[in-house]
Structure 1
Amino acid sequence: MLIDKLHAFTSSRLAVIGFDATVQAAALSLSRPGIGLVVVCNAGGGAEGVLSKSDLVRHLSGPASKTPPVSDLMSRSIVSCSPQDDVHDVWQTMAARSLQNIPVIDVGARPLGILDIRDAMKVLFEQEEMQERMLSNYVTGVGYR
């Protein structure tokens, strides 16, 4: 199954903030239910980085200092997927890198959504259940009589 088929899930988890946004704006976005990652975009709407709840907590737990823009805190190396990627392949990448969320980015570097690992696991589990039912039906002859 392609990531594009999960658009209803991924688009609802998308949170985008500007490159010069404040830490408070990022915290507000991350405080919304179901949001675990924000995509930091440039003025043209292209993804420049990501900021997770962990990044924010790491900053807030450090020594008190001035409040930097999110561009100082974000991860610039974005691990992302495209709508045409296979869910299983993306899930493997997420598991290997211990990522809970991964942005879905189009060819123009514009964010389309955020894939949560729980959504990917749910889809993969449902696919396995369907294959098991089909195999069981084949072995028992259901639908062939």
Structure 2
Amino acid sequence: MLIERLYTMTSARLMVIDIDATLQTAALSLSNPGIGLAVVSGENGKATGVLSKSDLIRHLTDREPNTSVVTLMSRNIVSCDPNDELLAVWKTMVAQRLQNMPVLGADSKPLGVLDIRDAMKVLFEQEELQEHMLADYIGGMGYR
């Protein structure tokens, strides 16, 4: 299954903040239920980094008062494309221990954020369907 087929899920989790946003703005954005990652964008709407809840929590332990979104964000964006296969993306997320991954389109424009729980749910449902189809086939019922 391609990531683009999960657009409803991924677009609902998309939170984009401006590169010049304050930490207060970033914290408010990340405090929304279901939002674990904010995509930081520049003036052209292109993704320039990502900021996670974990980044903010680490900042609170540092207590550096003049820190900005630019300072806290990760510039090395691990992302996926709408045409990527879900299983391959999930494997990358597991290997890199990512809870969320931005979905970026042409010119690095943010389209959504894939949550690993959503990926697991869809992969499990696919596997369950395959199992039922195989059981029906073996049982002589054919495909549904």
Report the TM range for the smaller structure's normalisation.
over 0.9
User: Which segment drifts farther, 64-73 or 17-26?
Assistant: 64-73
Q: Tell me, which stretches of 5 or more residues in structure 2 are unaligned?
A: none
User: 1:31 and 1:101 mapped to 2: Cα distance?
Assistant: 15
- TM-score w.r.t. the length of structure 2 is 0.97
Checking the alignment, whether the CA contact within 8 Å between 1:13 and 1:115 is kept in structure 2 is: yes
What percent identity do the matched residue pairs reach?
Answer: 61
User: 1:65 and 1:56 mapped to 2: Cα distance?
Assistant: 11
Kindly provide the CA deviation profile for residues 30-60 of structure 1, in whole angstroms up to 9, marking residues without a partner as x. 0000000000000000000000000000011
User: 2:67 and 2:128 mapped to 1: Cα distance?
Assistant: 48
Checking the alignment, whether the CA contact within 8 Å between 1:22 and 1:68 is kept in structure 2 is: no
In structure 1, what is the equivalent of residue 91 of structure 2?
92
User: 2:9 and 2:76 mapped to 1: Cα distance?
Assistant: 24
Point out 4+ residue stretches in structure 1 off by more than 3 angstroms: none
> Does residue 1:104 correspond to 2:103, yes or no?
yes
Task: Give 3-state SS (helix, strand or coil) of 1:102's partner.
Answer: strand
> Does residue 1:66 correspond to 2:81, yes or no?
no
Query: How much does 1:65 deviate?
Result: 2.7
Within 5 Å, give how 1:14-29 maps onto structure 2. Answer: 14-29=14-29
User: 1:140 and 1:73 mapped to 2: Cα distance?
Assistant: 57
Query: How much does 1:68 deviate?
Result: 2.3
* Number of residue pairs matched by the alignment: 143
Aligned CA-pair RMSD: 1.0
Q: Tell me, which stretches of 5 or more residues in structure 1 are unaligned?
A: none
In structure 1, what is the equivalent of residue 125 of structure 2?
126
Kindly provide the CA deviation profile for residues 6-51 of structure 1, in whole angstroms up to 9, marking residues without a partner as x. 0000000000001111111110000000000000000000000000
